[in-house]
Amino acid sequence: MPDNLSTPSFINVLVVSPRELDLTHLNAIREEGLYRFYFSPTTIGLDGFNNSLDILSYLDECRELIRVNQIHTIIATQDIPALIQARLHQEFDHLLIHNRSESIESSLLCLHKYYTRKYIDLSPIPFHAFDLESDERELFDVPVPFPWIIKPCTTACSAEIHKVHDFNQAAILLPQLKEKIIQNNQYLKPFFRTYCNVNQYPLLDKDILLIEQYIPSITRCCVDGCVYDGEILVWGISQVHSYPNRPESIADFIFPALIDEATQSVLEEEYVAVVERVIKYGFNRQFINVEFFVMENGEVELIEVNARLSPVTTRLYRECLKNGDPYEVLLRMSANERPARPVWNGLYGVVFYVTTFLSGYTNEIIDFQKMESLSDIELRVEPGRYLSPDKEIGISLASFNSIGESYDDMHEEAEIIRDSLLLNNNRDKV
């Protein structure tokens, strides 16, 4: 830590609703002896859905952990916990990052996909907010050309994202989405009503689907980086690969991206422009990644903004970048240390997804026993869950990563792992 700053000999860190990858990545940092980690209960899943959580009581639990353990800073690596993190950072003036962290409003505008389009997107594609309390006949009034991409406004990990081609398909899908979202998103409303301006952002108090025009693209890319007191540091660009014959699905993404320098420059320029808008709403000392469609003519269109660190890319950054540990950087930013710009070392990292396009119970699709025998793999569904994925997008069951010099070699090894995890090699011929 810088000598001219007053910091404790140990920094006590509260991790809000940690995922398994957080525990794995933080163990490496724990060994350095600079930090002591405390964890609030993991009650918010990767998809952001929950049908039982009392979020205001959960906040009280976090407050008690802060007081009892003399917490100095707080981190969160999922979308909903990032909102909780922002609130707690503002409440406790003894925290190292108090009044210098991200605001609730800036996190909210990245989380809520409708408001991202309305306030953050520089040139949004056609989009519309559809109230789930509406009659299905109101779908005919949606002013968005087909095909549509339909998604909940406050979920994560591509949960319940669907591509529809006509009104009939949308009407068939609507009851399923209505039941899922209304049952599993009510827990957020007390937080929104208490800590957000629902007069300025009235859709926070409603159950909303975002309907967007489908944009055909040649690839998708994600630009990642962080903000420190107004300075934007770009870490790099990753690129999505899709499954054959299913261009909407995500099979893997590679870092750094295998795209030309001109496209990379456009993506970085668009990233900076988007992040500058988020900064105007109070975003600071946090990671932020922005996903883009890349069109054949070289233009790009925003997909979404994630205002938090991405645990799934951590091993890629640690092994492919000098100064590339995002957890370490996040902690150092909270202790008033400006991060160094990372430098690529020549290696490539890939996050591979195990995906299904089949409906059925997870126990009939994935080999959970085999999954438990593998290291460095994150399970994204639980045993006994019934899946009904979009047939063009699919649903991710697990993810794992690989580091090397050749994408083709890593892809060949990943195919073997995928086949071993899916029962009866049941990948629906992806």
The number of CA neighbours under 13 Å toward the Cβ of 138 is: 11
CA 377 to each of CA 155, 229, 418: distance values in angstroms, whole numbers, following the listed order: 22, 35, 11
pLDDT in tens, 272-291: 999 999 999 999 999 999 99
- Span 364-376, mean pLDDT? 86
Distance CA 177, CA 182 (A): 8
Query: Residue 31: is its pLDDT beyond 90?
Result: no
Using a pLDDT cut of 70, give the percent of the chain over it: 96
Site of tokens 């590339």: 324
Contact predicate 368/274, CB 8 Å: no
Q: Mean pLDDT throughout 174-200?
A: 95
The confidence score (pLDDT) of residue 3 equals 37
With bands split at pLDDT 50, 70 and 90, how would you rate the model's confidence at 247?
Answer: confident
Chain-centroid distance of CA 63 in Å reads 25
**What percent of the chain is modeled with pLDDT above 90?**
77
How is domain 126-213 classified at the architecture level of CATH?
Answer: 2-Layer Sandwich (3.30)
pLDDT band at residue 425 under the 50/70/90 scheme? low
Where, residue-wise, is CATH 3.40.50 in the chain? 11-106
pTM of the model: 0.92
The residues that bridge with 149 in the sheet, in sequence order, are 163, 212
Distance (Å, whole) CA 64 – CA 48 = 23
Which ranges in the chain are annotated with CATH 3.30.470.20?
219-425
> H-type helices in 242-395, by residue range?
261-279, 314-320, 326-334, 368-372
Backbone φ and ψ of 246, nearest 5°: -135, 75
pLDDT score of 1: 41
- List pLDDT tens digits, range 294-327: 999 999 999 999 999 999 999 999 999 999 999 9
Q: Which amino acid is at 289?
A: N
Residue 132's SS3 state is coil
| Per-residue pLDDT tens digits for 57-82 | 999 999 999 999 999 999 999 999 99
CA gap 298, 403 in Å, rounded: 28
CATH of domain 219-425: 3.30.470.20
The residue-averaged pLDDT of 238-245 equals 93
Non-local (6+) Cβ contacts of 19 within 8 A are 42, 46, 77, 78, 311, 378
Looking at residue 242, its pLDDT comes to 93
Architecture of the domain spanning 11-106: 3-Layer(aba) Sandwich (3.40)
Instruction: Choose between 411 and 158: higher pLDDT.
Output: 411
pLDDT band at 2 (very low <50, low <70, confident <90, very high): very low
What is the pLDDT confidence band of residue 430, given thresholds at 50, 70 and 90?
very low
> What's the chain's average pLDDT?
92
Is residue 376's pLDDT more than 80?
no
pLDDT over 60 (residue 429): no
pLDDT of amino acid 7 = 55
Mean pLDDT of 10-15: 93
- Write down the pLDDT at residue 4: 36
